[in-house]
Amino acid sequence: MSREQAISRAETYFDDGLFFDDLARRVAIHTESQEPSQTPELYRYLTDEMTPYLEDMGFSCEILPNPVANGGPFLVGERIEGEGLPTVFTYGHGDVVRGYDEQWDEGLSPWEIVKKGDRWYGRGTADNKGQHTINLAAMKAVLAERGHLGFNVKLILETGEERGSPGLREFCDVHKDRLKSDLLIASDGPRLSPERPTIFMGSRGVFNFSMTLTLRDGAHHSGNWGGLLANPGIILAHAISSIVSSSGEVLVNGLRSPEAMSNSVRAAITDLVVDGGNDAPEINPEWGEPGMTAGEKVFGCNTLEVLAYKTGNPSAPVNAIPAHAEAACHIRYVPPTDSKLFIPALRKHLDDKGFSAIK
Ligand SMILES: [Zn+2]
């Protein structure tokens, strides 16, 4: 009985516009973690917005500094109902990517929610202010109905996710005992398709690295030196092509998953339809690991991407052999891959192929 009433409370919360109000207040805070000047907004989100809301639900809250220099603050919340009860750990991030105010369509703004058709526009509505607002409101509805949850809750709200979560790992390590919990339930990331609510039981790891090649100081005129000076842009391109094929298949053993996919994993993901909805890009079926389904490729396989590549000055090329080339790359990986082995494997591969000068 109280279950239905809690659900109906949650529906009323949405239908009466109270969810909109809570979310709009949060979206209005300019928590752009990639902009150092917005650091006060990160604090404001945690202290002025989230702390009172959480304290009202019976959480004790503390804002703690990031163990890493220049990292944003953390809010740790605890709501302990009783010793011996299971403890649910939940997570959210209060920061958003840059607003890019001038790039929004007429009538839209990153800092104000605007309803247009079935959609709500505003920075953070779908990542991650919307999600943690929903999860906390769900708990609030249960509390309003039952007066208790039946479990303890520990919460981390971080403010640097959109910068790669600097200090999150170190923070969790330092506060390991305090954060100890039985189960993590959190919402961030996409659905399989917009129409299909999705529960992920895990996600691929991510390992970022860059490759750089500097051969000399400064660029040199190609009329005088072309044919004599090695070109770092060309060499780095060849190095990349030895690591990943022209159809996206990872070619270096130490970067691939060391084990074939288990039958249970295969059975769970083989038939998953990956569909990002109307705005999604068209999938390239020939791309990636040969012989795998789309679900297997994106959920059960190691993949390597070049995220950015630069040599010379692409926005203003000159007739010269550049001195330097660099590529920002990353690997998404599945268990039992050990990411600590990536750099040694990559180093050995580059050395074996004659690319020792690449760092
Ligand atoms: Zn997110």
Helices (H), 121-199: 129-146, 168-174, 176-179
Matching CATH topology for 2-184 and 205-352? no
Residue 96, classified by CB atoms within 10 Å of its CB into exposed (0-12), middle (13-18) or buried (19+), is buried
Q: Which residues are within 8 A (CB) of 160 and not within 5 positions of it... i.e. 6 or more apart?
A: 33, 66, 71, 72, 93, 95, 166, 167, 168
For residue 190, report the distance from its CA to the centre of ligand 1, in Å: 9
pLDDT at position 54 is: 98
Residues with CB under 5 Å of ion ligand 1 are 127-128, 188
pLDDT (tens digit per residue) in 62-112: 999 999 999 999 999 999 999 999 999 999 999 999 999 999 999 999 999
Contacts of 313 (CB under 8 A, 6+ apart): none
CATH (one of 3.40.1050.10, 3.30.70.360, 3.90.1150.10, 3.40.50.300) for 205-352: 3.30.70.360
For 322, the token pair is: 């550049």
Among the listed residues 41, 49, 158, 161, the single catalytic one is: 161
161 is known as an active-site residue: yes
Query: What integer pLDDT is reported at residue 271 of this predicted model?
Result: 86
According to DSSP, the residues that pair with 32 across neighbouring strands are 96
Q: Is 188 among the residues known to form the active site? A: no
Residue 197 has pLDDT above 90, yes or no: no
pLDDT of amino acid 273: 86
Q: State the Cα–Cα distance between residues 48 and 144, nearest whole angstrom.
A: 23
At residue 77, the 3 state secondary structure works out as strand
User: Do 131 and 96 touch, CB atoms closer than 8 A?
Assistant: no
How many whole angstroms from 200 Cα to the centroid of ligand 1?
14
Please give the Cα distance from 96 to 111 (Å, whole number): 11
What distance in Å separates the CA atoms of residue 119 and residue 141, rounded to the nearest whole number? 24
Task: Give residue 93 CA to ligand 1 midpoint distance, Å.
Answer: 7
Domain ranges of the chain: 2-184, 205-352
Tens of pLDDT, residue by residue over 276-332, are 788 889 999 999 999 999 999 999 999 999 999 999 999 999 999 999 999 999 999
In the set 41, 49, 95, 158, the catalytic residue is 95
In angstroms, the CA 21 to CA 89 distance is: 26
Ligand 1 midpoint to CA 157 (Å): 11
How much distance in Å is there from the Cα of 290 to the middle of ligand 1? Answer: 30
CB atoms within 10 A of CB 64: 15
Q: Tell me, which fold does domain 2-184 have in CATH?
A: Aminopeptidase (3.40.630)
Distance 110 CA to ligand 1 centre (A): 16
Residues 6+ apart with CB under 8 A from 216: 229, 323
